[in-house]
Amino acid sequence: MLDQRRLPAEVVHHTYTDYRDVAGAIRSMVIRGAPAIGVAAAMGVALGVLRSPARTPEELQAEFSLICATLAQTRPTAADLFWALERMKRRFEQETRAADARDLSRIRSAMAAEAQQIHAEKKAADEALGRFGAELMPAAGQVMTQCNTGALATAGIGTALGVICTAFEQGRKLRVLVPETRPYLQGARLTAWELRESGVPLTLITDNMVGHFLKTGKVGAVVVGADRIAANGDTANKIGTYPMAVLAHEHGVPFYVAAPLSTFDLSIPSGEHIPIEERPAEEVTHLQGVRIAPEVDVANPAFDVTPARLITAMITERGVARPPYTESLQRLIEVSAEKRPPARAPAP
């Protein structure tokens, strides 16, 4: 894993051989971004099963449950995490029901294959999503995003940032307004780094400049990612997304959410049911290890929920959903469940 905590100052990779360390890496944000968390968790499950000392299916079953529970207790808001764990569980159950279920090596390689399949599917989903979203971007001018939703945050080109980069590669003359995204600075550290590496023009701003630029900056669109989207379209994303959506609405700027179907949680009717992760106080009181605030009470919710009514459209790998989301999201998921070939946006 590329250690995202140390970017952009240092490029450091870690190799994990124990699923507990993968869980630790997810919790401590070595890797972050909902889709990347999902893929990392799937790989963590595969690693746990491959390295398990179990000698019977029963022993492996007991360890499998522990592996999944450990990985599930890392980032509570990211729907992709639970989606990926469910998928690994389904495959495990299938394999342990099979006629030669006592052949543990077959189960082990099936779990590794499933994690790699998830990785490949997520990469393809990003590309399809990027093409659908690019069509919604202005031909030229400024677009705003939030947090980091690029290649670092997924298994492919990214979601919201993938949309922007795809549009840029197609010839749209875009400049990206990147809020620094306090407290963890995913915008300043990661998005600014990724955009600079890919040659997309950007302007870094502080979070409290968002309203000013939405009012005066001729912003053509806002595109953000998501951590969990409820059945009615209410969307949890990085803290600061909700005020950005309110301000975009106030100033008539289209507000798009870009996310793969694995981020949608249609089992919950609305955003009120989305668990919001509370992160350590040190992320607020310290900057790069240096205390910047006295010892006081601190709140650090990692995400906020944007009500569906503020979202102009949702961009997925299956196409673009528009309000009312309760119907349009259900339709998209049903199409996906039928396993129809992915709808393609026209080639650039």
C-alpha 171: how far from its chain's center? 26
Told to check if 237 binds ligand MRU by CB under 6 A, we report yes
Segment 34-73, which members bind ligand MRU (CB under 6 A)? 34-35
Question: How far is it, in rounded angstroms, from Cα 260 to Cα 191?
Answer: 19
The pattern of x and - marking residues 168 through 197 that bind ligand MRU according to CB under 6 A reads: ------------------x-----------
**3-class DSSP assignment, residue 277:** coil
Question: How far is it, in rounded angstroms, from Cα 225 to Cα 256?
Answer: 9
Binding segment for ligand MRU (CB under 6 A), chosen from 33-41, 53-61, 62-70, 210-218, is 33-41
Shortest spacing between CB 271 and ligand MRU, in angstroms: 14
Sole binder of ligand MRU in the list 91, 108, 131, 238 (CB under 6 A): 238
Question: How far is it, in rounded angstroms, from Cα 60 to Cα 93?
Answer: 12
Told to check if 32 binds ligand MRU by CB under 6 A, we report yes
Shortest spacing between CB 317 and ligand MRU, in angstroms: 13
Sole binder of ligand MRU in the list 22, 33, 131, 313 (CB under 6 A): 33
- Positions marked catalytic: 227
Sole binder of ligand MRU in the list 121, 207, 227, 265 (CB under 6 A): 227
Question: How far is it, in rounded angstroms, from Cα 314 to Cα 183?
Answer: 26
Spatial strand order in the sheet of 303-306: 264-265, 228-230, 235-238, 303-306
Shortest spacing between CB 277 and ligand MRU, in angstroms: 8
DSSP codes joined into one string, 77-116 = S-HHHHHHHHHHHHHHHHHHHSTTTT-HHHHHHHHHHHHH
The pattern of x and - marking residues 130 through 169 that bind ligand MRU according to CB under 6 A reads: -----------------x-x---xx---xx----------
C-alpha 143: how far from its chain's center? 20
Shortest spacing between CB 102 and ligand MRU, in angstroms: 40
- How far is it between the farthest Cα atoms of the chain? 66
Which residue, 104 or 178, has its beta carbon nearer to ligand MRU? 178
